[in-house]
Amino acid sequence: GAVVSQHPSWVICKSGTSVKIECRSLDFQATTMFWYRQFPKQSLMLMATSNEGSKATYEQGVEKDKFLINHASLTLSTLTVTSAHPEDSSFYICSAMLAGGPRREQFFGPGTRLTVL
Amino acid sequence: DAKTTQPNSMESNEEEPVHLPCNHSTISGTDYIHWYRQLPSQGPEYVIHGLTSNVNNRMASLAIAEDRKSSTLILHRATLRDAAVYYCILRDLGGGADGLTFGKGTHLIIQP
């Protein structure tokens, strides 16, 4: 149980276009989902916290108008990278927290590798 | 979240035990010690967590020092599939839901 999927697993796009990444909790409900970014040979950096039915909370230095997050249901959160540029190329990973879970364990998706040409 | 310190890398042989250390000298009384690992090109996965007592699960064991200022993740019999970056993370469960703060972790290399 506790499986999180991401789609697509990889995407290549031209500079200036927008890319949407989906994060789904397949077998549990998640009131809170998180989005992370990981550049090559670096650790994961938290970008934002996504709460179902409310606005996302962004970490310092993350542009909310560039990285649009929507958490419309208890099983789906989406991250849209708007007007993507080569410096946005990265590994984007989401995680979901089990609603009501006592340990607040986070279940991670497999990641989406974005390459902006 | 309080800071943790881990060695950058460790190397072990297949089918031997591996002890991955983590120092967290500024740990508070409400901090749980969590371990996650990230296999190459994958998202992290939960390994184990504990508060004060040693913990065992199907993946690993967690040994926590009596003063809680350090802990050790133990893989009893490493396989090539255990090659990953292991992250030791402190989580205060007294507050609301928040994201994880990943340090650099320990890159575990398993030799066949």
Q: What is the 3-state secondary structure (H, E, C) of chain B?
A: CCCCECCCEEEEECCCCEEEEEECCCCCCCEEEEEEEECCCCCCEEEEEECCCCEECCCCEEEECCCCCEEEEEECCCCHHHCEEEEEEEEECCCCCCCCCCCCCEEEEEEC
Q: Which residues contact B103 (CB under 8 A, 6 or more apart)?
A: A43, B3, B4, B5, B6, B87, B88, B89
Which token pair is B27? 């740990």
pLDDT for residue B30: 87
pLDDT in tens, B17-37: 999 999 999 999 889 999 999
Chain B: residue whose CA lies nearest to A103: B93
Residues of B in contact with A5 (CB under 8 A): none
Evaluated on CA atoms B72, B75, B77, B81, the torsion sign reads: negative
User: Which amino acid, residue A15?
Assistant: S
Q: In what order do the strands lie in the sheet with B61-64?
A: B18-23, B70-75, B61-64, B55-56
pLDDT tens digit string along A16-38?
Answer: 999 999 999 998 888 889 999 99
The amino acid sitting at A64 is K
pLDDT at position B23 is 97
Q: Which chain B residues have a beta carbon less than 8 Å from that of A108? A: 43-45
- Residue A1's CB is within 10 A of a number of other CB atoms, namely 7
Size of interface A-B (CB pairs under 8 A): 55
- Distance in angstroms (rounded) separating the CA atoms of residues B64 and B68: 6
Mean pLDDT over B84-92 rounds to 94
pLDDT at A105: 77
pLDDT of residue A44: 95
Query: Tens digits of per-residue pLDDT, A69-89?
Result: 998 888 999 999 999 999 999
Q: Do B49 and A103 touch (CB under 8 A)?
A: yes
According to the model, what pLDDT value does residue A99 have? 64
Q: What is the pLDDT of residue B99?
A: 86
- Residue that wins the pLDDT comparison between B29 and A15: A15
Cβ contact, residue pair A49, B100, below 8 Å:
no
Mutate to test the interface with A, among B41, B55, B90 (most CBs of A within 10 A): B41
Q: The tokens of A94 are what?
A: 């989401």
For residue A12, the surrounding DSSP H or E stretch is: strand A10-13
Rg of chain B on CA atoms, in Å: 13
Closest CA to A94 of A61, A117, A70: A70
Residue A4: what residue type?
V
Rounded to an integer, the average pLDDT of A31-55 is 92
Query: What is the three-class DSSP state of A82?
Result: coil
Between A33-42, A49-58, B34-43, B89-98, the lowest mean confidence (pLDDT) is in B89-98
pLDDT of residue B54: 94
Name the residue with higher pLDDT: B101 or A112.
A112
On the question of pLDDT at B95 being above 70, the answer is no
Q: Report which of residues A101 and B65 the model is more confident about.
A: B65
Residue A1 confidence class, pLDDT cut points 50, 70, 90: low
